[in-house]
Amino acid sequence: MMRYIAFIFIIVLSVGEIAAAAQPPASFADIVEKAIPAVVNISTTQKIDMRNKSFSLNDLPENPQDLFEFFEPDPNSRKTRKIRSLGSGFIIDPQGYIVTNYHNIADADEIEVMLGDESPERYKAKVLGKDPKTDLALLKINTKDPLPFVKFGNSNESKVGDYVIAIGNPFGLGGTVTAGIISAKARYLNGSQYDDLIQTDASINRGNSGGPMFNMKGEVIGVNTLILSTTGGNIGIGFAMPSAIVEPIIDQLRNKGEISRGWLGVLIQPVDEYVAKSMGLQKIKGALVAEVVKDSPADKAGVRVGDIISRFDGKEVKNIHKLPRMVSETPINKHVSIQVFRNGKYEVLNTIIEKPTSDPLGEEAEDSEAKQGNTEKIGQVMLGIRVADLNNALRNKFKIEPALSGIIVLGINRNSPAIESGISAGDLIQQVGNKKITTIKDFENEINNIKSLGHKKAMILINKGNGTRFILIDLE
């Protein structure tokens, strides 16, 4: 009986210790006192050509006295007008190196950095480098004396639920401190391949952009970048770019003034439950290859459309968002291994990472029913899709390159489930699963094979003219 009581006491004590550890700090004052001198206000000026320019309510000055200057009798009497914007930043070196968001200084004609809140010192800033993909920029100011600065911490060590502090310049108020917790990690927004954001409920408002997010050690673990809001104000959903991404980018900007990213040369799609099942993959992970750029590192390695990339350079590819970042952070000319899942088994390929010759991302082609034209009397309807074998006339009509093979989509029945898949007239069907399609007969055979296996959907590779991607078509 005594042993049982002792066991219960140990459990209760452990729970008490966890509860005590979860208590918020009594004050953030010590951290703030050391950090706030290194946080700066950034003011930018952009000259706008006023001739033939239309205005909205958002363009009106906030100060009523400025309305007389804004509305002049002769619209051409003032050819340009200066637009001012406010943001935040932080000093990372006593010599005056400052980190901020790219969008704070984009298109700015003048950049001014203000140090301190009471009688702030103002300095002209020079842009040393910028990276629109990660929304980061590095500025430099020259001062007589060394400046207070802050250091980066490791955002990978932070956890959901950790306390964080945000300092910035919301609405031009300067030196404003807010606190909260990390609400989530690895958030992906805006469709950006480089997003891996920290979500927080610490209040972040307009003007906070570019300011630092601190952990309880007083280290910068993020750069406050954006908020989600229906009103333009804070509703407790803010995001910061993690220091694990920021620090190496800033190092490159400081040392070279530009960013060098590795390039593999593939267009990828997510692996969902159906893709994994149809490919025979046991777990839902990896990145599905929808297109391989000719003569790219992936092409030279032997990567094929329909492969699922499961590991890159020895590291697991957990989802589609991880691979672009892993590739971009790989040094150019480095030898890497690529593990792919193909035809029910894993294969390891090898290649050398290169510098991209152009932006590796393409935009989605615009769907257009106008492409269909008078094609209702030719071709064959399958799964609610009117398709036809390619001939010279159809190649010319839909501007299909000679090197491409497949069958052409002429139209979609309005009541067909296929209309929800995104397929449209002018698309070229090139594969069903991993099987290449060159004729309607090929297409029919593969669809029948998939149906015979009891599958209710088929993975179809389509080319919209500016890239390929897999779509799911309902077979019922």
**What are the C-alpha distances in Å from 103 to residues 57, 131, 157, 224, 359?**
22, 10, 28, 12, 20
What are the two backbone dihedrals, phi and then psi, of residue 51, each rounded to the nearest 5 degrees?
Answer: -70, 130
| 434 shares a domain with 391 | yes
Please list the active-site residues.
Answer: 103, 135, 209
| 331 shares a domain with 404 | no
284 by Cβ neighbours in 10 Å (0-12 / 13-18 / 19+) ranks as middle
- The total number of structural domains in the chain stands at 3
Q: Rg for the chain (alpha carbons), in Å?
A: 28
* pLDDT at residue 193, as a whole number: 52
Domain assignment present for residue 123? The answer is no
| Distance between CA atoms of residues 49 and 361, nearest Å | 33
Domain assignment present for residue 48? The answer is no
Residue pair 447/475 in contact (Cβ under 8 Å)? The answer is yes
* pLDDT at residue 264, as a whole number: 94
| Distance between CA atoms of residues 385 and 388, nearest Å | 10
| 228 shares a domain with 205 | yes
| 330 shares a domain with 293 | yes
* pLDDT at residue 18, as a whole number: 42
| 344 shares a domain with 411 | no
| 173 shares a domain with 270 | no
Domain assignment present for residue 26? The answer is no
Tell which of 205, 233, 256 closes a domain. 256
166-216: pLDDT as tens digits = 998 877 677 789 999 999 998 887 655 557 899 999 888 778 889 999 999
Domain assignment present for residue 60? The answer is no
| 286 shares a domain with 223 | no
Residue ranges of the chain with per-residue pLDDT less than 50: 1-21, 57-58, 60, 62-68, 359-377
| 376 shares a domain with 467 | yes
CATH number at residue 308: 2.30.42.10
Residue pair 472/279 in contact (Cβ under 8 Å)? The answer is no
CATH number at residue 242: 2.40.10.10
Dihedral sign for Cα atoms in the order 451, 454, 457, 460 = negative
Domain limits for position 428: 369-474
